[in-house]
Amino acid sequence: MKFLRYGSAGSERPGLIDGDGHIRDLSGVVDDIGGRWLADLSWTRSLDPSQLPLVEAGERLGPCVAGTGKFICIGLNYADHAAESGLEVPPEPVIFMKATSAICGPNDDVLIPRGSTATDWEVELGVVIGKPAKYISEEQALEHVAGYCVVNDVSERDFQTKRSGQWTKGKSCDTFGPIGPWLVTRDEVANPQKLKMWLKVSGEMKQNGSTETMVYGVAHVISYLSQFMTLHPGDIVSTGTPPGVGQGFKPPRYLKAGDIVELGIEGLGTQRQVFRDDI
């Protein structure tokens, strides 16, 4: 199934996409898409989308998951992206956190923070945790996944690399975490390591890759993370980006007010953001 959340920011309602591509309201079935409703999806077996209220077209789409406790990212997880960044492929996954306050809807405006000169784009596969995961094996890992979504891991490169400390400060600005449009349940994604992904800036293709070229695949990443922390339902893991980010161009090509970023992943939908200055 394809779950989503729609409505004004902070007042989103749960929904799903029916077989004809229309939004159906789920608020009479669940209170939101997140937490306990993702821990056990057995309630979806008796759902008949055609019997749910139809939602009028044109509603804003919010983040596809509610109440995310951790927004975990994997750095340099595509060898060709590491190369364009001038860095070696790490011997173990690089982990950093993105503030949950960065989360926004897939088509919301993205704010270029004050003082920014190096705001960048990154299309990534997001993995949404369903069952709690602690010390799990790679073979068990996908059983703990509720589904997948598109993530734009927006980054301010100077904040990330030139302002001392960890990458988090360049990854966590408000609106730097568009997620969605949908949470696509695990059963609809036959192989998360064979998904095409792309990103355009103002109509120009910048990233055109596939999850097939990840260094550390989804199952490995989930198992690996679970050795250090318990993953909870609703947590999001963003698994890295293929080459073509602005930082990798010579000279670098960063985002400015008025730029339009469009991105998508095969079977998981698309996003569209207008970038504007945060004044």
Q: Burial code of 68-90, b = ≥16 C-beta within 10 A, e = fewer?
A: bebbbbbbbbbeebbebbeeeee
Q: Say if 98 falls within a structural domain.
A: yes
Give pLDDT, residue 79.
Answer: 83
**Residue 60: both structure tokens together:** 């804003």
Give all strands (DSSP E) within the chain, no chain letters.
2-6, 13-17, 23-25, 71-75, 94-97, 103-104, 110-112, 119-120, 123-129, 145-152, 155-156, 177-178, 183-185, 196-201, 204-210, 236-238, 260-265, 269-277
Q: Say if 46 falls within a structural domain.
A: no
Q: Say if 235 falls within a structural domain.
A: yes
In three-state secondary structure terms, 274 is strand
Q: Say if 32 falls within a structural domain.
A: no
Q: What type of residue sits at position 271? A: Q
Per-residue pLDDT of the chain in tens (279 residues, 90 and over written 9): 999 999 999 999 999 999 999 999 999 999 999 998 999 999 998 899 999 999 998 999 999 999 999 999 999 898 877 777 777 888 999 999 999 999 999 999 999 999 999 999 999 999 999 999 999 999 999 999 999 999 999 999 999 989 888 899 999 999 999 999 999 999 999 999 999 999 999 999 999 999 999 999 999 999 999 999 999 999 999 999 999 999 999 999 999 999 999 999 999 999 999 999 998
Number of folded domains that form the chain: 1
Rounded-to-integer distance, Cα 77 and Cα 88, Å: 10
Rounded-to-integer distance, Cα 72 and Cα 195, Å: 20
Q: Say if 141 falls within a structural domain.
A: yes
Phi, psi of 10 (to 5 degrees): 90, -10
Distances in whole angstroms, Cα of residue 120 to Cα of each of 54, 244, 250, 252: 37, 10, 14, 10
pTM of the full structure: 0.96
Q: Say if 170 falls within a structural domain.
A: yes
**Residue 18 — left, alpha, or beta (φ > 0 → left; ψ -120 to 50 → alpha)?**
beta
As a dihedral over the C-alpha atoms of residue 52, residue 58, residue 10, residue 147, rounded to 10 degrees, the angle is 60
Q: Say if 15 falls within a structural domain.
A: no
Q: Say if 31 falls within a structural domain.
A: no
| 21: Cα within 13 Å, side-chain hemisphere | 4
**Contact between residue 66 and residue 13 where contact means Cβ atoms under 8 Å apart:** no
**Contact between residue 66 and residue 35 where contact means Cβ atoms under 8 Å apart:** yes
Residue 97's domain spans which residues? 65-277
Pairing type for strands 71-75 and 94-97 reads antiparallel
Give pLDDT, residue 89.
Answer: 83
Q: What is the CATH number of the domain that holds 237?
A: 3.90.850.10
Give pLDDT, residue 44.
Answer: 92
Give pLDDT, residue 273.
Answer: 98
Give pLDDT, residue 206.
Answer: 97
